Amino acid sequence: MGLNLTQKILNSHLKSGKVGSGGEIGLKIDQTLTQDATGTMAYLQFEAMGIPKVKTDLSVSYIDHNTLQTGFENADDHAFLQSCASRFGVYFSRPGNGICHQVHLERFGKPGQTLLGSDSHTPTGGGIGMLAMGAGGLDVAVAMGGGEFYINDPKIVKVWLTGKLSPWVSAKDIILEMLRRLSVKGGVGKIFEYAGPGVATLSVPERATITNMGAELGATTSIFPSDEQTRLFLKAQNREQDYIPLQADPDATYDEEIIIDLASLEPLVAKPHMPDNVVAVTELLGTKVQQVAIGSCTNSSYRDLMAVAAILKGKVINPEVSLVIAPGSRQVLTMITNNGALTDLLDAGARILESTCGPCIGMGQSPSSGAVSLRTFNRNFKGRSGTIDAGIYLVSPEIAAASALTGTITDPRTLGAYPEIELPEYYRVDDSMILPPSDSEVEIVRGPNIKPLPVASKLSDTLKLPVVIKLDNNITTDDIMPAGAKILPLRSNIPAMSEYVFNKIDEDFSARAKSLGQSVIIAGHNYGQGSSREHAALVPMYLGIKVVVAKSFARIHKANLINFGILPLTFKREEDYDLITTDSKLIFEDMTQAIFSSEPLPVKIEGTNKTILLQHDFTDRQAKILLAGGLLNFTREANK
């Protein structure tokens, strides 16, 4: 029986376990990427392992999240990251060179290789035929040290594409259609492999939009075959030598199949406050718009911005709309500058931002109070924009540009003939802003914002834990550890950052957690969805959180909790969730035995005659990590 594309890459990188077994598998990682919001902690962790140089084929450190320098913290941390990169054998993409996923696709991605990144949108690399996965910074640090990356053997879903997109319907609408069908938790434990005759009609930038936002499905990753479109893209980037053809065997099998007729799709919009709240644009026509933001790692490619420039050329945006545009990379920015498209954008009234994540991560350009903001981004969680009462809608570049002109949500199909966008035969290649590592000994630069790395204590056999907070479904890592210009600069200062945990939900959480010493969090389904930021586990660990009990967990966050010695447990009986209040205290006994056992764990509610049943699916390796108090302790002990 033939193999599908995912199985081929998994098997060629398999270090432990068995593909198709349903158990845990360990993979060799070829490439890693970090960014500055997560990278500082990742390199502190790598340094703590005592490994002199990275052991991957390629590792790159990007500066793209925290470039708003309102104080010394971000600039100091950039200097720290640059010195770490040079010291440990890592390439360094300087501030202004672009968003990590866009630049990595342009300059480093290779079909058939594995990529692990400390950013949940690392699956963007699947658009070029990579098996690219997001993870917490500690997992990436271990991979840089030559360690395996572990995932649960995923279900592989074939997404069969037929037909061709109609004019004014874009790749963004394909992934929004997936979210409409499956929801933000519909991809947990799955890899989406795109196939079918419709694939050949999509360019690499369009494919990257789809794989990028596959993260919002909760998927392990998404991937496209490496074909003629891939070869043309790599050739245009002067990297044709990196091309290899790669696709599924004709008789390959899959766990599930989804069929999408591209010709049947229409322009779609994700309404506030979740990426799966998807409707047709025709349901929202006439909704007044105050802001339009175009960019992010989802929709900031040369193709995207050329489409926007063509729509806006010779016109002026509505006087009541603020239009901001962030090109995805310096390559994109210089190319639209040279061909005149930038002038078209400026003449239309656009404000041009740095080639960074910017407003997508809440780093500037917050909309006005109660505003409607259309964004070509990937997430619209409440408050992520920096304005808690703003309505954030996720749209394609075409809808964004059309609506900027009219001042209301507009169906772009009303604009007439769709402008033909030709991809360049050759992109402008200039890697002078990517610094290779040094061969000499480099001193690591440490600013005053970099504090010692917190490490969890070993697991106790008995725990009596008060409930510090009880939460509903779909709690995001933004809810747990908010982003934004005020908080992100503290990413290497855990004591300072701890003041903001759950700040948007409960302003007293941090003080209460500190007063309790040790405590447990109770939550509903899909706890920890969204960003891969490990601070959503690391900082609660610092505040004494020992256990999180939820109805279900998002993949990356569950792994991060284990990495930092916090037990992620689920309810055996979902109705037990209702037995627990914020005044409850849970008694956990015989924990050393329990984490190695497949039997349900009985937990008493102190002061009552009630017992709840909890469960887990820890592998033997994960149980040992938890017993050690986290992955860093476990790795240190293993290397003694």
pTM value > 0.85: yes
The reply to whether 61 and 84 lie within a common domain is yes
- Predicted confidence (pLDDT) at residue 41 exceeds the cutoff of 90: no
- Which residues are CB-contacts of 370 (< 8 A; sequence separation ≥ 6)? 389, 390, 391
| Amino acid code (one letter) for 280 | A
Kindly state the DSSP code that residue 408 receives in the 8-state scheme: B
Assign 383 a pLDDT band (cuts: 50, 70, 90): confident
Q: How big is the chain by its Cα radius of gyration, in Å?
A: 24
CB 528 within 8 A of CB 475: yes
Helix (H, G, I), strand (E, B) or coil at 304: helix
Phi, psi for residue 91 in degrees, rounded to 5: -70, 150
Nearest residue to 613 via CA among 627, 592, 599: 599
Query: Per the residue annotation, which of 77, 119, 139, 411 is the catalytic one?
Result: 119
User: Which pLDDT value is given to residue 640?
Assistant: 60
Query: Per the residue annotation, which of 379, 384, 555, 616 is the catalytic one?
Result: 379
CA distance 482 to 509: 13
Q: How many domains does the chain have?
A: 3
User: Which pLDDT value is given to residue 37?
Assistant: 85
Assigned token pair, 124:
């963007």
CB 372 within 8 A of CB 287: yes
CA distance 95 to 151: 32
CA torsion sign, 602 to 603 to 605 to 608? Answer: positive
Average pLDDT of 119-140?
95
User: Which pLDDT value is given to residue 319?
Assistant: 97
Active site residue 583: no
* pLDDT tens digits, one per residue of 13-32: 999 999 988 899 999 999 99
- Predicted confidence (pLDDT) at residue 509 exceeds the cutoff of 90: yes
Q: What mean pLDDT value characterizes the chain?
A: 94
Average pLDDT of 411-416?
96
* pLDDT tens digits, one per residue of 340-354: 999 999 999 999 999
Show the 3-state SS of 359-395: HHHCCCCCCCCCCEEEECCCCCCCCCCCCCCCEEEEC
Query: Per the residue annotation, which of 13, 36, 61, 64 is the catalytic one?
Result: 64
Q: E-assigned strands of 147-228?
A: 149-152, 155-162, 190-195, 221-223
Active site residue 379: yes
Q: Is residue 556 part of a domain?
A: yes
Q: Helix and strand tally (H, E) in the chain?
A: 20, 27
The reply to whether 176 and 318 lie within a common domain is no
Kindly state the DSSP code that residue 267 receives in the 8-state scheme: -
Assigned token pair, 321:
């709309």
Q: Is residue 162 part of a domain?
A: yes
Asked which of 224, 239, 264 is the last residue of a domain, the reply is 264
| Residues forming beta bridges with residue 31, ordered by sequence position | 58, 115
What DSSP element (H or E) covers 105?
A: helix 100-107
Q: Percent of the chain, pLDDT > 90?
A: 80
The reply to whether 301 and 220 lie within a common domain is no
CA distance 406 to 437: 49
User: Which pLDDT value is given to residue 455?
Assistant: 78
Q: Is residue 239 part of a domain?
A: yes
How would you label 571-593 residue by residue, b for 16+ Cβ within 10 Å and e otherwise? beeeebbeebeeebbbebeebee
Q: Is residue 108 part of a domain?
A: yes
Looking at per-residue pLDDT, the higher value among 442 and 246 belongs to 246
The reply to whether 381 and 351 lie within a common domain is yes
Q: What residue numbers bound the domain in which 584 lies?
A: 463-632
| Residues forming beta bridges with residue 601, ordered by sequence position | 614
The reply to whether 552 and 516 lie within a common domain is yes
Helix (H, G, I), strand (E, B) or coil at 167: coil
CA distance 199 to 616: 39
The reply to whether 27 and 93 lie within a common domain is yes
Assign 464 a pLDDT band (cuts: 50, 70, 90): very high
Q: Is residue 421 part of a domain?
A: no
Q: What is the CATH number of the domain that holds 534?
A: 3.20.19.10
CA distance 356 to 101: 11
* pLDDT tens digits, one per residue of 536-579: 999 999 999 999 999 999 988 999 999 999 999 999 999 999 99
| Residues forming beta bridges with residue 69, ordered by sequence position | none
The reply to whether 199 and 339 lie within a common domain is no
Assign 639 a pLDDT band (cuts: 50, 70, 90): low
The reply to whether 119 and 251 lie within a common domain is yes
CB 542 within 8 A of CB 513: no
- Which residues are CB-contacts of 452 (< 8 A; sequence separation ≥ 6)? none
Asked which of 355, 383, 413 is the last residue of a domain, the reply is 413
Of 72-76, 573-577, 634-638, minimum mean pLDDT range: 634-638
Which is it for strands 114-117 and 31-35: parallel, antiparallel or unpaired? parallel
Rounded to an integer, what is the distance from CA 159 to the centroid of its chain? 21
Which is it for strands 391-394 and 91-93: parallel, antiparallel or unpaired? unpaired
* pLDDT tens digits, one per residue of 257-287: 999 999 999 999 999 999 999 999 999 999 9
Assigned token pair, 477:
């890592």
Q: Is residue 457 part of a domain?
A: no
Nearest residue to 214 via CA among 123, 130, 299: 123
Assign 378 a pLDDT band (cuts: 50, 70, 90): very high
CA distance 632 to 639: 11
The reply to whether 524 and 623 lie within a common domain is yes
Q: Percent of the chain, pLDDT > 70?
A: 100
Strands of the sheet containing 391-394, edge to edge, are: 278-280, 268-270, 391-394, 372-375, 291-294, 322-325, 351-352
Q: What is the CATH number of the domain that holds 239?
A: 3.30.499.10
Q: Is residue 587 part of a domain?
A: yes
The reply to whether 299 and 243 lie within a common domain is no
CB 588 within 8 A of CB 613: no
| Amino acid code (one letter) for 297 | C
The reply to whether 403 and 500 lie within a common domain is no
Active site residue 533: yes
Asked which of 413, 442, 474 is the last residue of a domain, the reply is 413
CA distance 357 to 100: 9
The reply to whether 193 and 253 lie within a common domain is yes
| Residues forming beta bridges with residue 61, ordered by sequence position | 34, 92
- Which residues are CB-contacts of 246 (< 8 A; sequence separation ≥ 6)? 5, 8, 9, 111, 112, 129, 225, 226
Q: Is residue 458 part of a domain?
A: no
In order of 229, 347, 437, 580, the CA distances from 334 in angstroms are 23, 17, 25, 57
CA distance 476 to 320: 32
Active site residue 64: yes
User: Which pLDDT value is given to residue 556?
Assistant: 87
Q: How many residues does the chain have?
A: 640
- Predicted confidence (pLDDT) at residue 386 exceeds the cutoff of 90: no
